Amino acid sequence: MNLFDVSEFIYVFMAIYDTLLMDTIIERVIVMFDMFLTTLPATIGTIGIILTLILVFVLHRYFIELNKENIKSRSIVLLYGLLFVMIALAIVGILTLWGYDVTDFISSIFVGAEDIIEASVSRIVGTLITIFVALVVFKIGRIALYKLGSSTGSNQRRKNTIAKITLSILKYIVVIVALLAVLSVWGVNVAPALAGLGILGLVIGLGAQKFINDLISGFFIVFEHHFDVGDWIEINGFMGEVIDIGLKTTKVKNFKGEIRIFNNGSIDPVSNFSRTESLAVVEFGISYKEDIAKTIAVLQEALPKMKDEFDNMVEAPRILGVTDLASSSVNIRAVVKVQSMTQWGVERALRQRIKEILVENNIEIPFPQVVVHNAQKS
């Protein structure tokens, strides 16, 4: 065999190999395409069911949040029941689309376990009823407390504070009671568990005295009405609005948006600025050559008109009189009683109005001056 025959053989072999390889690739592409076409309806159906379920969840949550104030307890039970049914139907629909026989699947689960199910069906039903009742109680309590906290009228801040703290307590009580009820349904003797919880609580109490101190302090803060949600307070030099009160911690936000969390046991002392009206104080100076009595009379005539312009003024502004004989001015003080924590804005407006009145009446507002005397030698 010469070199030409070998080259021709290799060429023929490669051509056959390429043909077979191409046929294999084409067959694989055809198989994958067939699989895609076969599963396409199931895939589209699954995506549609999932998107529909997500839409139902969003609408359900939106409806509950939107109608917190007016929704009835029976409506809550009905809505959650319908949501549970839709989830079950969605699961069955997806399994059916992918070729699963749901009835055979369920039957296979219970094959050989009929006796166990018959013995446990009452416990399962009791567990489901307990969980359902716990959820309904929590939801009804949450909506009722929301209505209490958002209701207008006297002591609105107090109601909001009690609503928040009661909701926190209700959540823990519902969870603990539901857990003990489920254990009891399944035959667990909860009496030793309660005794064990008591001993455990004693041990934890001895080892977590600071935590217990925070809880006790939080209890007295709420029920002795030290401050409420929405009050302006000062704790350890940090002044701000109370945005949340819990049994363990209190959250305060200042005017810059900073939020500081205080342990209730460490809140000592605390200043509450929301219990009574605030006092806006403005001091200004006039020249020594001006008539003090005339200046006070002009201001006392003009400043009371500001009360009609500012709703947060409790009383009309008044002039207290001269407070200091400074180096280059006679200082006079003006005060006005305003609603709680609105004094800063009123002080700014009051300074501007005093400046305008003094300028209109040609009353000089002095500025620091230095008088230099030249000593002459005799």
Regarding whether 287 and 245 lie in a shared domain, the answer is: no
Regarding whether 305 and 263 lie in a shared domain, the answer is: no
Is residue 128 assigned to a domain? no
Is residue 366 assigned to a domain? no
Q: Please name the residues in contact with 87: beta carbons below 8 A apart, sequence gap of 6 or more.
A: 53
Closest CA to 280 of 229, 353, 231, 330: 353
Q: How many CA atoms lie within 13 A of 269 on its CB side?
A: 2
Q: Are 76 and 133 in contact (CB under 8 A)?
A: no
* Window from 48-62, 63-77, 352-366 with minimum mean pLDDT: 63-77
CATH number at 290 reads 3.30.70.100
What's the whole-model pTM score?
0.45
* pLDDT band, residue 199 (cuts 50/70/90): low
Is the model more confident about 168 or about 312? Answer: 312
CA pair distance 89, 53, nearest whole angstrom: 10
Taking only the tens place, the pLDDT of each residue in 235-274 is 888 888 888 887 788 889 988 888 998 988 888 888 888 8
Compute the average pLDDT of residues 103-130.
Answer: 67
Regarding whether 54 and 104 lie in a shared domain, the answer is: yes
CATH number at 229 reads 2.30.30.60
Pairing of strands 278-286, 270-272: unpaired
Compute the average pLDDT of residues 325-340.
Answer: 89
Q: What is the dihedral of CA 167, 169, 172, 173, to 10 degrees?
A: -110
Q: Please name the residues in contact with 266: beta carbons below 8 A apart, sequence gap of 6 or more.
A: 236
Regarding whether 15 and 94 lie in a shared domain, the answer is: yes
Taking only the tens place, the pLDDT of each residue in 130-152 is 888 888 888 888 887 777 766 66
Q: Are 60 and 79 in contact (CB under 8 A)?
A: yes
With a cut of 70, say whether residue 72 has pLDDT above it: no
Regarding whether 320 and 253 lie in a shared domain, the answer is: no
Cis peptide before 366 (omega within 30 of 0): no
Range of the domain at 323: 278-360
Q: Which of 242, 272, 302 is a domain's end point? A: 272
Regarding whether 257 and 215 lie in a shared domain, the answer is: yes
Output the six-digit token pair for 72: 């009835």
Domain count, the chain: 3
